[in-house]
Structure 1
Amino acid sequence: MLLVLTDEHKEHLAFLPEVDSAVVGEFGRIALEFLKKGSNSKIYEGAARKLNVAVDTVQHGVEGLMYLLTESSKLMISEVDFQDSVVVLGFPEELNKLLLQLYLDNQKEIRNILSELAPNLPHYHNLEWRLDVQLASRALRQQIKPTVTFKLHLEQNGEESAKVLQTDPATLLHLIHQLEQALGEMKTTHCRRIVRNIK
């Protein structure tokens, strides 16, 4: 699978051939640090002064490199696919090899960082439901008031919890219809392409 870079990312990475290979390696190290600890504008300013360029140029170069490495690691792109993805940038062969080495050296660490950044959400464990129908009352003899009660069992970090939800059948039918529409949308070519790129 090839990594498709937008024109904006290509423009951000266009700065890399203008600097020494040691600087590109340092940008790779900075990109990893930013993934772990977040961005730091002082590092951009110091690098911009040393290279005698604008701070934005350095920031865009590091962020473009970070995007290239994280997306490649997320998609688990092979060596050949990575090289083919980088070739479209028009970089010299030496820089392409340096980028490939950066990717290969840091792929596992980047994947570990990305897995730690992923939110830990509760997930479905079990569902119980009950239909309650009030057949009649002295005040309203002709009206029927059905309600559907759900007990949703969730699991997070090995701990179970339960949520009780209650609705009327009309709202439940509307919800079912919306979910069926969403599932139908997932079968479209556009959604399949997005899901394939997310994995």
Structure 2
Amino acid sequence: MLLVLSEEHKEHLGFLTQVDSAVVGEFGRIAVEFLRKGTNPKIYEGAARKLNVSSDVIQHGVEGLTYLLTEGSKLMISEIDFQDSVLVLGFSEELNKLLLQLYLDNRKEIRSILGELAPKLPSYHSLEWRLDVQLASRSLRQQIKPAVTIKLHLDQNGDQTTKILQTDPATLLHLIQQLEQALGEMKTNHCRRIVRNIK
């Protein structure tokens, strides 16, 4: 699996060809720090003064490198796929090896940082349901109008929330069929490959 880099990212990463390997290594450190703590304009300004370029060039270079490292880490691409992805940039062999080493050294840490940044979604705790049937009303003496009321209890970060949903049996049946179809899709080879790459 190869990384897809936009022209903008290629342009941002192009700056790495103008600096020596020690600076690229420092950019890698700044990129990981950027993921941990967010952007720091002072670091960009200090590096810009040392390299005699604008701070925007430094920022774009770090952001391009951050994108390269995070996308590779997210997909857990292999060494060969990473090298093939970087080949399209037209860098020297030495710079390609340096980028590969940066990726290999930092991918586990980047994955853990990305895991912490991921939103914590609510999880299922319990469910209560009730079937209500209206048999008649003032205007209609004979009518059958069923409704299913569902009380869904969710856990999120130790807090419990409750959601109440109401639907008719036909819609509920359709929802069940769609969920069963989705579960069936998860058993296909294509989905298994995707899930393996996400983990």
Q: For 1:131, what is the secondary structure of its paired residue?
A: strand
Q: CA deviation at 1:3?
A: 1.2
State the Cα distance separating 1:161 from its structure 2 match: 5.0
Aligned to 1:86: 86
RMSD: 3.3
The secondary structure found in structure 2 opposite 1:101 is helix
Q: What is the CA-CA distance between 1:125 and the residue it aligns to?
A: 4.7
- Cα deviation, 1:108-162, whole Å, max 9, x if unaligned, reads 1101101101111112355443321110244653454432201224344577654
CA distance, structure 1, for counterparts of residue 195 and residue 79 of structure 2: 22
CA contact (8 A) 2:153 2:160 kept: yes
- Match for residue 18 of structure 2? 18
Aligned length: 197
Distance 2:9 2:194 in 1: 19
What fraction of aligned residue pairs are identical, expressed as a percent?
Answer: 82
**Which sections of structure 2, spanning at least 5 residues, go unmatched?**
none
Letter aligned with residue 57 of structure 1:
V
Deviation at 1:6, TM superposition (A): 1.3
Match of 1:106 in 2: 106
Give the structure 2 partner of residue 59 of structure 1: 59
- Letter of the aligned partner of 1:59 in structure 2? Q
TM-score of the pair, normalised by structure 2: 0.81
Structure 1, unaligned runs of 5 or more: none
Report deviation, 1:74.
0.7
| Superposed CA offset, 1:7-38 (max 9, x none) | 11111100001011111111111111110001
Cα pair distance change 1:195/1:60, threshold 3 Å: farther
State TM-score, norm by structure 1.
0.81
**2:35 is the counterpart of 1:35:** yes
The 2-side partners of 1:118 and 1:157 are apart by 13
- 1:71 match: 71
Cα deviation digits, residues 161-195 of structure 1 (max 9, x gap): 54322234576578779989999xx9xxxx99998
**2:46 aligned partner:** 46
Alpha-carbon distance, 1:79 to partner: 1.0
